[in-house]
Amino acid sequence: MKKSLLAIAAMTAFAGAAQAQSSVTVYGILDVGFVGSQYNGTATSVNAAQSNGSATAGNAGQKQTTAGFGQSAESTSRLGFKGSEDLGGGMAALFTVELGLAPMNQSTTLAAAQGELSFNRQAFVGLKKTGLGTATIGTQYTPVFDVQAATDTAGNNNLVGNAVYSGALQSATGTFNNGQGPYVGSNSVSADGGAYTTRAANALKLQSDRFAGFAGQLYYAQSNQNSTQTGVAYTGAVGGTQNNTVWGVNGDYTWNKLQVVAAYQNFRSVDQNVAVAFTGGTTATGTAASNGTAGGATTSFGLNATDNQTYAAAAYDFGILKAVYQYSARKVSSVVDSSYFTKRSANQIGVRSQLTPTISAYATYGLVNSAYFGNTAATQGANGRTYQLGVDYYLSKRTNLYGALGGVNQSSNGSVVSSAVATAASNGGVGTNATNYAVGIRHTF
């Protein structure tokens, strides 16, 4: 009897220890409020240059205002699960799964509800070694995002007016066109049209622990496919190669009140698909000269492109306020002919101050320059100015009220570059002005 009781006690203690070595945390953000916007510019952005140099004209002017109760103005609403398991010897397994939320949307069908929850913000699993770092695989934030988010004065809110972040003009009913050139500059491989790419799938991330104030990251992603067509009398077969690779690095150095960061990442996509329609054993082919492939329909610039993205920043905490200088650059070029490109660069300064124990305020000002659709004709470009102002009032550590204002003013983007240059009157080559404001409440859990 005594042995049985001892055995039960030992098993209970072992189970308790095992449970203590594993943990799962549910976390998230809910952000709702009143959002307004005003836009004056072009109705649609100019299509990015394809690999054969063509571009689309015909943009019309647009004036639009929105106002209403919206969501995610200060932070994107989300729901996440993260956990770790102690493997012993300073080793641990870890995971994160994070979904986007739309708290203001009403889903009337199961499919619609699944669509609102299915946005895969993060999903990765990996190992952590104390004193060394972590290695994770899955859908993850990029090297540029990790250091940019750590040094952004405005906290990467979702209002227009941040020169070094991929935000869009926010409205109560969604987002709409927020200008050409500096803000929707490219139909790039990453397809987000912003200052940089926020996350990538199929990615391996190696993140070091901090040593003597320095932490670094290596990043690599790959998704390749090679298919061969067989058979006859079949329409719609696609063969060829699709090679998509990403690599990047970043560094973060902190010394007393000074923080300096830098990052670089490269996205490269080469699509040599051949769209073939079999008719009596013959195939429809295209010319390599027009699209850089072995045949088929014209391959767009965004599918045969190399996308270089750079970020650097320095922040210093003066006590009464923290000042930050940020720089970003991005250039997307055709892998078929590098004379076809779109690029942007931005400089931004910002300050944030903790005015009282419960109130903080921030301000940013940025300058953006862009050039795009270059070929034998003159390269087109635009200059822009951005700003953001905001204040947060913390009711607790997890709940705050906020008010924010953002704006952008962009010069004329000029004419569309194509074989026949269009006029500004036909393509809406006018300046762009947009403002955004929001007041709301954000709760983190």
For residue 211, what are the β-bridge partners? Answer: 214
Average pLDDT value for residue range 222-247: 66
Which residues in 338-351 are b (16+ Cβ under 10 Å) and which e?
Answer: eebbbbbbbbbebb
Longest dimension (CA), the chain: 96
Higher pLDDT pick, 33 / 167:
33
pLDDT tens figures, 291-325: 332 222 233 334 678 889 999 999 999 999 999 99
Dist. CA 385–CA 109, nearest whole Å: 43
**Does a structural domain hold residue 349?**
yes
Residue 325: inside a domain: yes
Tens-digit pLDDT profile for residues 369-408: 887 665 545 556 778 899 999 999 999 999 999 999 999 8
Average pLDDT over residues 409-414: 67
- Position 121 in a domain: no
Quick one: pLDDT at residue 186?
A: 33
Residues 6 or more apart whose CB falls under 8 angstroms from that of 423 comprise 415, 429
Chain centroid offset of residue 421 CA: 32
Question: Does residue 138 sit within a domain?
Answer: no
Q: How confident is the model at residue 44 (pLDDT cuts 50, 70, 90)?
A: very low
**In which element (H, E) is residue 115 found?**
helix 110-117
E strand spans, 318-373: 322-334, 341-354, 359-372
Instruction: Calculate mean pLDDT across residues 229-239.
Output: 52
Q: What integer is the mean pLDDT of 22-41?
A: 91
State the pairing for strand pair 22-42/61-71: antiparallel
pLDDT of 189 above 80:
no
Cα–Cα distances in angstroms (integers) from residue 391 to residues 95, 162, 193, 249, 312, in the given order: 34, 16, 28, 33, 25
pLDDT digits (tens, 9 = 90+) for 324-370: 999 999 988 888 777 777 888 999 999 999 999 999 999 999 998 88
Domain span at residue 47? 35-69+147-201+246-444
Q: Higher pLDDT residue, 22 or 256?
A: 256
- 432 touches 408 (CB < 8 A): yes
7: pLDDT strictly greater than 80 = no
**Is 283 a residue whose pLDDT tops 60?**
no
Task: Report the C-alpha gap between 445 and 443 in whole angstroms.
Answer: 7
Please indicate, yes or no, if residue 378 is contained in any of the structural domains.
Answer: yes
pTM of the entire structure? 0.79
Residue 421 has pLDDT above 60, yes or no: no
Report whether pLDDT(46) > 60. Answer: no
Whole-angstrom distance, CA of residue 404 vs CA of residue 132 = 40
- What is the predicted pLDDT for the residue at 15? 43
Does the pLDDT value for residue 177 go beyond 60? no
- For the stretch 119-139, pLDDT in tens is 678 999 999 999 999 999 999
**What mean pLDDT, rounded, does the chain reach?**
75
DSSP letter string, 276-300: EE-BTTB-----HHHHSSSSSSPPP
More confident residue, 228 or 355: 355
Domain count, the chain: 1
Please tell me which residue, 350 or 283, carries the higher pLDDT value.
350
422 pLDDT above the threshold of 50: no
Q: Poorest-confidence range of 207-216, 299-308, 429-438?
A: 299-308
Q: Is 215 within a domain?
A: no
Element (DSSP H or E) covering residue 6? helix 2-20
pLDDT of amino acid 66 = 87
| pLDDT per position as a tens digit, 131-165 | 999 999 999 999 999 999 999 999 999 998 999 98
- Amino acid found at 414: G
Does residue 44 form part of some domain? yes
| 77 within a domain of the structure (yes/no) | no
pLDDT tens digit sequence for 74-117: 998 999 999 999 999 999 999 999 998 888 876 555 555 555 55
Answer positive or negative: Cα dihedral of 174, 179, 181, 186. Answer: positive
